[in-house]
Each structure stands twice: as structure tokens, then as C-alpha cells.
């Protein structure tokens, strides 16, 4: 999603794709943005959309020590946990709607949970630092790169010549894109300018 936000922040992007007119959680608007990269004579075959599973779908898989850490996290960070559950509901709804769209194939990776103790508060009293640590939950997406590389490889190995347009700031896809190009595919990486805040 940060990739598409960078497109939105680009001064050359059409105003209809910018806030307040545009909502990234609206699948119809998002697909219009993606399709806007096509030339009039080009035909769209498929949009592959890569997402991580929502937090609440992965939560039941947590076992053993990680489950104990999750329970401690819920107890010490109830508002953060509730926000993650709320956001997961939005993501689940979005994923369901986008998967139903014509020409869209939703590819879902996994989420890896990492718990870290982060300082809640740091105060200096008489030259001493007092730190109160609370468990902090980090979610890391997994398998997305592998799914994308697999799909591009399958495309150039099984389909006649075509075109690949990639929206990503990740530079790890160079080898698979080069292989597609060597097989005769046109390869485009959307020009995404990252703006520092």
C-alpha cells in the first residue's frame, strides 16, 4: 500500500487519484488507478494483488510460548490489540471485495509474529533512567516475494509474449523481471517516487 501512496503523492498523478477524492480502501478506485497505467490499445489480462493475511486470520496459529507472549501483549496493550483487530476486519473485507473483482487474482502471504519488549516510558531521576518495558507486537509479511516471483516465472514460461507492469519499491525482483524480458516480455516498473516526511 505504501507503493500506491507514493504514486498518489507524485505531483504528476491526476488529481482524481489524490486525497480527498481517492480512498485506498475502495477496491473500485484502486483498480481504476492501476488500470490508468494502460494505453488505450492495451488489453488487461489479469491483476495480481499481493497481500499478507490479516492479523486475526493468523492469530489462531500462535502456539506455545508465542501464545503466552500474545496473551501478555493483549493484557498490557488492550487498545493496540483492539486497533489491530479492527484493522484486520477492514483488511479482510477489502481482500474479499478485491478478490471478487473481474480480472483480479488475490495472492495471500503469511504473517510472522514477533514480540519485543519496548520501553514504555523513560524518565531520568537523579541521573538514573527508569524503564518500564511492555511487550510490543511486530507483524512481518512472509512469502509475498516468493509468490510474486513464482507468478512472473509461470507467466513468461507458459504464455505468449506479453507485458508485466510491477508496482513495487522492492528491488529484489530484478532477476525475475530480467528473465521475463529475455523471454520477450515487455517489463515496466511503475515510477514510484518516495517522499520523505
Report, as ranges of residue numbers, the positions in the chain whose pLDDT lies below 70: 1-21, 117-135, 191-197
Distance CA 160, CA 175 (A): 20
pLDDT at 1: 54
- Cell numbers representing residue 20 in the block: 480527498
Backbone Cα Rg of the chain: 21
Helices 144-158 and 174-182 cross at an angle (nearest 10°) of 0
Distance CA 180, CA 163 (A): 9
pLDDT at 122: 47
Distance CA 164, CA 181 (A): 9
Q: What is the pLDDT of residues 140-185, one digit of tens each?
A: 888 889 999 999 999 999 988 888 888 877 778 889 999 999 999 9
Distance CA 195, CA 178 (A): 27
**Count of CB atoms situated within 10 Å of the CB of 106:** 17
pLDDT at 184: 93
Model's pTM, two decimal places? 0.71
The percentage of residues in the chain with a pLDDT greater than 90, rounded to a whole number, is 21
Residue 88 in contact with residue 55, Cβ under 8 Å?
A: yes
pLDDT at 99: 93
For residue 143, the SS3 value is coil
Amino acid at each position: 500500500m505504501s507503493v500506491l501512496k507514493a504514486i498518489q503523492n507524485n505531483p504528476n498523478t491526476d488529481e482524481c487519484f489524490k486525497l480527498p477524492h481517492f480512498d485506498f480502501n475502495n477496491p473500485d478506485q484502486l483498480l481504476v488507478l492501476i488500470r490508468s497505467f494502460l494505453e488505450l490499445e492495451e488489453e488487461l489480462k489479469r491483476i495480481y494483488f499481493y497481500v499478507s493475511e490479516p492479523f486475526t486470520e493468523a492469530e489462531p496459529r500462535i502456539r506455545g510460548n508465542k501464545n503466552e507472549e500474545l496473551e501478555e501483549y493483549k493484557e498490557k496493550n488492550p487498545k493496540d490489540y483492539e486497533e489491530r483487530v479492527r484493522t484486520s476486519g477492514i483488511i479482510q473485507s477489502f481482500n474479499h471485495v478485491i478478490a471478487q473483482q473481474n480480472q483480479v487474482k488475490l495472492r495471500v502471504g503469511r504473517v510472522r509474529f514477533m514480540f519485543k519488549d519496548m520501553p514504555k516510558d523513560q524518565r531520568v531521576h537523579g541521573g538514573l533512567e527508569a524503564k518500564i518495558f511492555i511487550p510490543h507486537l511486530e507483524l512481518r509479511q512472509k512469502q509475498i516475494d516468493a509468490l510474486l516471483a513464482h507468478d512472473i516465472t509461470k507467466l513468461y514460461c507458459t504464455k505468449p509474449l506479453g507485458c508485466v507492469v510491477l508496482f513495487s519499491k522492492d528491488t529484489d525482483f530484478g532477476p525475475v523481471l530480467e528473465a521475463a524480458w529475455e523471454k520477450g516480455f515487455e517489463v515496466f516498473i511503475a515510477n514510484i517516487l518516495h517522499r520523505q516526511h
